[in-house]
Structure 1
Amino acid sequence: MYDLVVVGAGPYGLSIAAHAAAAGLSLRVLGRPMASWRDHMPGGMFLKSEPWSSNLSAPGGDHTLADYCATHDVAVRHGVPLPIGTFTAYGQWFGERAVPQVEEVTVTSVRPDSGGFRVETDAGETIAARTVVLAIGVMPFVNRPEPLHGLSPELASHSSDHHDLSRFAGRDVTVVGSGQAALETAALLAEEGARARILARADRLNWNTPPQPLERGRLRGLRDPHSGLGTGWPNWVWSEIPWAVRRLPAAARVHIAETALGPAGAWWLRDRFESAVPVILGHRIRAAATRDGGVRLDLTTRNGGTETLDTEHVLAATGFTPDLGRLRLLDPQVRGTLRTVGVSRAPELTSGFESSWPGLFFAGLLTAPSFGPSMRFVYGATFTAERLMRGVRRRLGDRPGRVTIPRPARDGAPAVADPAPGAPAGGRTH
């Protein structure tokens, strides 16, 4: 039986695995390294965060993005956007150095078993583990506007469905959304020769300002501090002290996760976008139907009026919604028992990222309603890896290889009885 199985090999999974390996745990890491970044982001995109805030996490701060760039003679500077391809290559490089072995298999099931869990893969293997971390990224949580659900993939898709946008050259494409993914995708479509437009509920587009210099006067720095998520005191709180966010009431945490760091385009994209992409703001999609080989969108305007829009393809860049119900690889009994954060569909977690099912840990998007918006960004991987490993060590009794009986999760999670093999722990459903 392994001490830990990490499901997922993106920035969070690789960072957690690096800390687990350094701690001497018996470990399996399952997933395709940086898969979402390699397969589900259009070519030509840039990283929105600053390079210095985009490191994966290893003990001692080793294997940073700057280390990778120096090794590969890649220029990296504050205020200069980094290509997504460079960051993806960095993540793979990090994994090769910091993680013993990543197995490129798909996990099909995680279910409770005596003393821990049984993890099944598409290769037919069943792995016994005392603890499991689900660092499965964002792909299970794709958010598609409901009116588009009945359309075929040829007529409606999500931005994460595409790595190559050249297939849309010469076609009329309506991109739904007002965040960075929508704005950059629309710009890239226009540059590929598509007739692209933005359709958004927002009344205006928001644009980030250029980053301030890293070296500033003390007073200016105090008024508007730098942080991994940008300048300003709110951003500093979200990025630097996620533990404080977790101590807030559940309703406040859910509100922060849903509203903080709202949709906005990167400053360096604005000129490219505004010169190439028309926008339709203050409109909602009421219905969508196939018409003449394309899509007719019935729209509601901000003042309650109605309009129609014909387009050849609708591309939703509408983000991702954390929802345990979509986590099909997790045993239904466990999913239905986990305590959730307020009215959200995200798991309530201890300070060590442990859920109310003993030994089951989460990382990434699903943890944003517990720890705040930094969990939606690479910057949150360092805090997560360090704190989560403390939680795993507590669960294992700080003695790798020791078989332990599951006991209630700590730090305010509801007390549960030690479950019999295959039986649910206590808690409430949502």
Structure 2
Amino acid sequence: MSYPDLADIPGGLERLNERVRQDQQWLDVPTRPWVPSRSADGQRVIDVVVVGAGMAGLTVSASLRRCGIDNHIVLDRAPAGHEGPWATYARMETLRSPKSLSGPCMGLASLTFRAWYEYRFGQERWEELDRIPTTLWMEYLIWLREILEITVRNETALDGITFREDGLLALRILSAGRPETILCRRLVLATGRDGLGGPYVPPVIAALPHHAWAHSADRIDFAALRGRDVTVIGAGASAMDNAATALEAGARRVDILLRRLAMPRVNKFTGIGSMGVVLGFQALPDGWKWRFMDCVLDAQTPPPRASVLRVSRRPNAFFHLGCSLESVTPQGDGVRIETSRGRLDTDYIIAATGFSADLSQRPELSAIASHIRLWKDRFTPAPQDMSSGIRYAELDNSPDLGKGFEFLEKMPGDCPSIRFVHCFCYPATLSHGKVSGDIPAISDGAERLVRHIAESLFVEDRALHYDGLVAFNDPELMGDEWTDTPLSAA
């Protein structure tokens, strides 16, 4: 994509690429591979399979290589260049995160967005930049993948998981529609916001003919909404971004229905963001973890100011607060909505109603879903842990993860191999904090995950490593460096 107000500095990215290579050479990364190779059933066993090549999956892959776990692969169902939400349903003009955050750089300054931007467009342009354009962020991630030489198998989807008696995982995948089975030792689900579920759609909307509605994460033909009335349900960022996109595509009017009496204004978790939260959240007692996340959910995350202004500056945009759905019925070619504030006739509904952690929406996890321990399976929050007295389903249905983001058994001894599957996506938040999906702490989360995987692989292979220790016989001294002197010579 071209940007009329930005001009590439000739040779800028080439110079940055050289600096990245030099930095890696000085740090001696990637380190040499150390995991003993395995084979089974006539095929090589992959040490780690990462599902998802968005920001999280790329950071995990690069971190694995830095730790010497080179025998891994990354899969993504999307075509190359369309991984993650940035080129699909992320319809915001700019990112919410401040431009200065280091993001998926793994501690290497030359891998930051700022380095990429300044080398490409210049420091002066960086100083002028307010927020990062979404399309530029996607270009940066593509560059990150290229400079780190991360190989991704695109148009490849996980179709099922089987635990073998020998401790390996057999993964059924569909690659360009063709079935295949690969064997691996660890599986990382870096599958984003809906990683253990899918879009949540209120039942009254889901019952409508599908031509009358879409979820905000769907591929929507906005051009087809030109001259039509659109109603957006929700008060979050995706509601504003979809409303704005519909308006900019020529919708006749857009009504935004908000159940709350007031739009949320304070971004709670961002407000207390610090390395203390990043490193310390996972060590909190369960009640305190619940209390923190309950407070965030109760307050709700507000949409960015720029996103709201993008909508409100349009004269044909209308906000309706304290307006909850009561019924929705087809009406000719459109839809009639009965709300707590009255009736609204519209042509099309966009449900910006978020996502749910609902394993039944992930058929590829059907064989393991019943074994995954959720927070509701073992924890009941005390009254002081619930700000409003509401027990949020999002927290109840969050996976109860181990220290390395690994799934834990619902019934001890029933499925011990489930610990070889790691949840490095948004539903890990209650167990680990915001380190598995958001830009600010993605490198810290990936490091935590990969250190655990490296530790577990080494412990599992300890006998092989000990045999290697015993067999190691490369002398540093040749025996001609000294002369043995008799004591009597003294």
Q: TM-score range by the shorter chain?
A: 0.7 to 0.9
Q: Secondary structure at the match of 2:68?
A: coil
Amino acid aligned to 1:68: W
**Would the alpha carbon gap of residues 46 and 110 (structure 1) be closer, same or farther in structure 2, given more than 3 Å must change?**
same
* 2:140 counterpart of 1:90: yes
Conservation of the 8 A alpha-carbon contact between 1:396 and 1:403: no
Equivalence for 1:133: 188
Alignment of 1:5-404 (within 5 A): 5-25=49-69, 26-31=71-76, 32=78, 34-41=82-89, 43=91, 45-53=93-101, 55-58=103-106, 60-73=108-121, 75-77=125-127, 80-104=130-154, 105-113=156-164, 114-123=166-175, 124-139=179-194, 140-162=197-219, 165-194=222-251, 195-207=253-265, 230=270, 232=271, 234-236=272-274, 240-260=276-296, 262-276=300-314, 277-301=317-341, 307-332=342-367, 334-342=368-376, 344-356=396-408, 357-373=418-434, 375-397=436-458
Q: Deviations over 1:339-387 (max 9, x none)?
A: 1123622211122212212211111211012123454522231121000
Q: CA shift at 1:309, angstroms? A: 1.5
Does the aligned pair in 2 maintain the 1:349–1:355 contact within 8 Å?
yes
Relative CO higher for 1 or 2, CA cutoff 8 Å, sep ≥ 6? 1
Partner secondary structure for residue 310 of structure 1: strand
- Residue 412 of structure 1: aligned partner: none
Shift of 1:155: 0.7
**Structure 1 counterpart SS, 2:365:** coil
Check conservation: 1:177, 1:200, Cα contact below 8 A.
yes
In the alignment, the residues of structure 2 paired with residue 267 and residue 248 of structure 1 have an alpha-carbon distance, to the nearest angstrom, of: 32
- From the two aligned structures, give the one with the greater helix fraction: 2
Secondary structure of the residue aligned to 1:189 is helix
Indicate how the Cα distance of structure 1 residues 240 and 282 shifts in structure 2: closer, same or farther if over 3 A, else same.
same
Measure, in 2, the Cα distance between the counterparts of 1:100 and 1:402.
31
Mean CA deviation greater in 49-58 or 355-364:
49-58
* Structure 1 gap ranges (5+): 210-226, 302-306, 405-430
2-side partners of 1:99 and 1:108: how far apart?
26
8 Å Cα contact 1:21-1:99 kept in structure 2: no
Partner SS for 1:235 = coil
1:240 to 1:400, Cα distance in 2 relative to 1, 3 A: farther
Question: 1:315 is matched by which residue type in structure 2?
Answer: I
Pair member with larger Rg: 2
1:297 CA displacement: 1.4
Distance 2:61 2:286 in 1: 29
Q: Is the 8 A contact 1:178 1:263 kept in 2?
A: no
Please list the CA deviations of residues 53-99 of structure 1 after superposition, one character each: whole Å capped at 9, or x if unmatched.
26224364552211222343274458712211111111111112225
Q: 1:257·1:373 contact (CA, 8 Å) conserved in 2?
A: no
Structure 1: how far apart are the matches of 2:287 and 2:338? 34
| Residue range with higher mean Cα deviation, 152-161 or 320-329 | 320-329
SS where residue 100 of structure 1 aligns? coil
Q: Is the 8 A contact 1:180 1:264 kept in 2?
A: yes
The percent of aligned pairs where both chains have the same amino acid is 24
1:18–1:57: 8 Å Cα contact kept in structure 2? no
In 2 relative to 1, CA 19–188 (structure 1 residues): closer, same or farther, beyond 3 Å? same
Structure-2 change in CA distance of 1:327 and 1:254 (3 Å) = farther
* In structure 1, C-alpha distance between the alignment counterparts of 2:222 and 2:280, rounded to whole Å: 41
Alignment: residue pair count: 376
Q: Normalised by the size of structure 2, how large is the TM-score?
A: 0.70
Q: CA 1:73–1:110 in structure 2 vs 1: closer, same or farther (change >3 Å)?
A: farther
* Structure-2 separation of matches of 1:174 and 1:352: 42
CA distance in 2, matches of 1:138, 1:299: 29
Contact kept? 1:34, 1:92, Cα under 8 Å:
no
C-alpha separation in 2, matches of 1:54 and 1:176:
34
Q: CA RMSD in A?
A: 2.8
> 322-331 vs 393-402, which deviates more?
393-402
